[in-house]
Amino acid sequence: MAITLIDTLPKFISTEEHRNLVASTPASFADIPPVLRHKEENVSDSANGELYVIESHLVFLSATGRGFQVEYPSITLHAISRGEKGPSIYCQLDEGAPAAENGQPQNGEEEDVSDMRELTILPKDPSALESIFEALSLCASLHPDPGAEDEMDDDDDAFVDPGEFETFNGDADQELSEVGRVRSDFLNNSRFAPY
């Protein structure tokens, strides 16, 4: 599920603590907690609270101690909005059922059908929008779309082995192949011709 209700903050460290941990060569890099990239106080969603942009999750914790965390792969869009509610961060969240391990949809659902939610983050300080957006973008880039790997498989034919082409090694009396003639025409007539 994309959104999880929480009543405690997930464990995180500051960028300075991360720098010191990495410099000391820890026993396992997997044991290093995620880094807090931005913290903003006085943020409202449906309640007032604090926003934590952590490398593992986007977290909102209200003044009552209850809140939610969002997984970055479920954030399909984030942008700065200057709409009617005032300057804010607008997010679209994909609440669709997670796919099975083989990449096929579960429960017989169509792959293209998903439930979308909107999240609007309104900081009291509008000058914080840029830094929140930059931190959100950085953290989202650390969690690529799981389906993007499958799309890359379709591009295997885009890469061509250079050994598959014939190289013209003849003299001026021999004729170029069709590809060679096109290449020769391009090299000899490389001026701009818009029509």
Residue with tokens 């961060």, as numbered in its chain: 89
Each residue of 132-171: pLDDT tens digit? 999 999 999 998 876 665 555 555 555 666 666 666 566 6
CB atoms within 10 A of CB 60: 23
pTM of the model: 0.67
User: Which amino acid appears at position 151 of this protein?
Assistant: E
User: Which residues are bridge partners to 145 per DSSP?
Assistant: none
Per-residue DSSP letters for 122-159?
A: EESSGGGHHHHHHHHHHHHHTS--TTHHHHHHTTGGGS
